[in-house]
Amino acid sequence: MKELDKYKNNFYQENKKSVFTKKSQKYELAKEITSKFDVNVLLQRTVYIIPNTNKLFVNYKMFKQFAQPDNYELFVKYVQNLVHVIIKKRSNFECHIDIDSFTISAAERYKGVVQIFCKEVFGFTEYMGGVYVYNSPTMIDKISSVFMHFLDQELRDKIIIVKKEGSENIVDEFKQHSFRRQL
């Protein structure tokens, strides 16, 4: 969304990036984005079903543009609905998450939504084929330690980390299906 990038750039020109208030500044920007852009469109561009598959794709770069505590529940409910659609049609699902640009500070900032997501979406472990995490940062072990205590062993066993080197082509293919909502 070029409009979204333009809006974000204008925001940071008017409000210089701050190291000390980075978290609150990012939440403020996310709130402004959700007031200026249709949240349903943002959700559809963030999480979608890859057509004719049991694959759900989550794009972190899009998620971080609008995610803030006031809309975490909305995000999780949206994902839950997509999971139900897949399970009804395919009887199982896979979750593919592109975490390109995810950092330790992002892990801390989004810990709340990750906790809800793990409980409400990943609670379907009996229907889950796997969780594929793409573009994992070099510090994935440190970052994942923030989240691992939310996950039971059965789910941990289903997580497959794909290094950046192996992620690009797969993620690009998934992104070609953005905005499509059919199975």
3 state SS of 72: helix
Distance CA 127, CA 165 (A): 29
| Pairing verdict, β 55-59 and 47-49 | antiparallel
Lowest mean pLDDT among 12-21, 27-36, 86-95, 119-128: 12-21
Domain boundaries, the chain: 40-175
Does the structural domain 40-175 have CATH classification 3.40.50.300? no
Better pLDDT: 181 or 87: 87
DSSP per position, 11-57:
HHHHS---STTHHHHHHHHHHHHHHHS-HHHHHHHHEEEPTTSSEEE
Beta strands in the chain, from DSSP E residues, in sequence order? 47-49, 55-59, 93-98, 128-136, 159-163
Q: Tens digits of per-residue pLDDT, 2-33?
A: 888 888 888 888 887 766 567 888 899 999 99
- State the Cα–Cα distance between residues 35 and 51, nearest whole angstrom: 30
Which is more confident, 43 or 5?
43
What's the pTM? Answer: 0.88
Q: pLDDT class for 180, splitting at 50, 70, 90? A: very low
151: Cα separation from own chain's centroid:
17
